[in-house]
């Protein structure tokens, strides 16, 4: 597929088409309150870190979001256990305070449903790395959501992340794409994203009954969702895998 990759900073007229591109995220994933508060700000406040790809017909078929932040700032220094959520908070805190960023955090690579399976994820990841390098950064860090982990929700993330194929590459396809691009696993972010809601909300998001106490397996969830019927809530705490990309 012939692709043209641009940034929103260079082509602001594409904003609506980029943010409205179809995706395949499970409904519950987009209910994370940190993501709800900050993700939509990226195209407007950090457009130079939003890349998008157009096919031969000019249709937007993929986009990649990232954010700059100060990893070396006081009180930080290491990749956070709250992963994806924390990177968004740090990035917009730094932006508000005018802090000088030293690292780029990968936030998402999204492929339109009809264009999946064509290798676009690797191409957008490469473009994200190039974009960070062009802005003077020496590293991209990624709180990676292993895209086959949902098939093994009860497998500990530490065990899953370290599983490799005979060729030494990660077992998980998305971890493998990052590894092929030059990234290495740094650590686990055990609480990278947290989604809490009433049982009625979870029923609406998933179509499941959520009427039994304990762990509930939800399609698309990397770990089970904890259900507490007596308290009328359920909580999903998603682990991610921190990978570091030297540039």
Query: Judging by beta carbons within 10 Å of its beta carbon (0-12, 13-18, 19+), is residue 2 exposed, middle or buried?
Result: exposed
Helices within 98-138 (DSSP H only): 120-134
pLDDT given for residue 1 in this prediction: 81
User: CA 82 to CA 102: how far, in whole Å?
Assistant: 19
pLDDT given for residue 174 in this prediction: 98
User: CA 60 to CA 80: how far, in whole Å?
Assistant: 32
pTM above 0.85, yes or no: yes
CB atoms within 10 A of CB 246: 10
Residue of 112 and 2 predicted with greater confidence = 112
Q: What tens digit of pLDDT does each residue of 25-38 get?
A: 999 999 999 999 99
Contacts of residue 132, Cβ cutoff 8 Å, sequence gap at least 6: 66, 104, 139, 140, 247
Q: What tens digit of pLDDT does each residue of 204-230 get?
A: 999 999 999 999 999 999 999 999 999
The 8-class DSSP code of residue 9 comes to T
pLDDT given for residue 191 in this prediction: 98
Q: What tens digit of pLDDT does each residue of 77-106 get?
A: 999 999 999 999 999 999 999 999 999 999
User: CA 147 to CA 177: how far, in whole Å?
Assistant: 11
Q: What tens digit of pLDDT does each residue of 146-193 get?
A: 999 999 999 999 999 999 999 999 999 999 999 999 999 999 999 999
Contact status, residue 9 vs residue 15, Cβ threshold 8 Å:
no
CB contact burial 191-224 (16+ within 10 A = b; e otherwise): bbbebbbebebbeebbebebeeeeebebeebbbb
Distances in Å between the Cα of 42 and the Cα atoms of 35, 89, 162, 182 are 11, 12, 32, 26
Q: What tens digit of pLDDT does each residue of 130-150 get?
A: 999 999 999 999 999 999 999
């Amino acid at each position: 597929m012939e692709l043209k990759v641009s940034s929103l900073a260079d082509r602001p007229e594409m904003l609506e088409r980029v943010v409205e591109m179809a995706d395949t995220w499970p409904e519950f994933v987009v209910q994370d309150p940190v993501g709800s508060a900050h993700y939509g700000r990226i195209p407007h406040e950090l457009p130079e870190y939003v890349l998008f790809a157009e096919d031969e017909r000019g249709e937007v078929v993929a986009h990649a979001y990232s954010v700059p932040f100060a990893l070396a700032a006081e009180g930080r220094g290491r990749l956070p256990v709250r992963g994806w959520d924390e990177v968004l908070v740090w990035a917009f805190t730094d932006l508000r305070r005018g802090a000088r960023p030293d690292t780029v955090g990968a936030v998402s690579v999204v492929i339109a449903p009809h264009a999946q399976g064509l290798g676009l994820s690797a191409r957008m990841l490469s473009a994200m790395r190039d974009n960070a390098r062009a802005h003077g950064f020496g590293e991209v860090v990624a709180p990676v959501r292993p895209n086959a982990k949902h098939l093994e929700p009860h497998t500990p993330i530490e065990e899953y992340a370290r599983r490799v194929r005979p060729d030494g590459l990660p077992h998980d396809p998305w971890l493998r794409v990052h590894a092929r691009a030059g990234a290495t696993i740094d650590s686990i972010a055990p609480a990278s994203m947290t989604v809490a809601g009433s049982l009625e909300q979870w029923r609406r998001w998933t179509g499941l009954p959520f009427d039994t106490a304990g762990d509930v397996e939800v399609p698309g969830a990397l770990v089970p969702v904890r259900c507490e019927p007596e308290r009328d809530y359920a909580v999903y705490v998603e682990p991610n895998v921190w990978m570091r990309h030297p540039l």
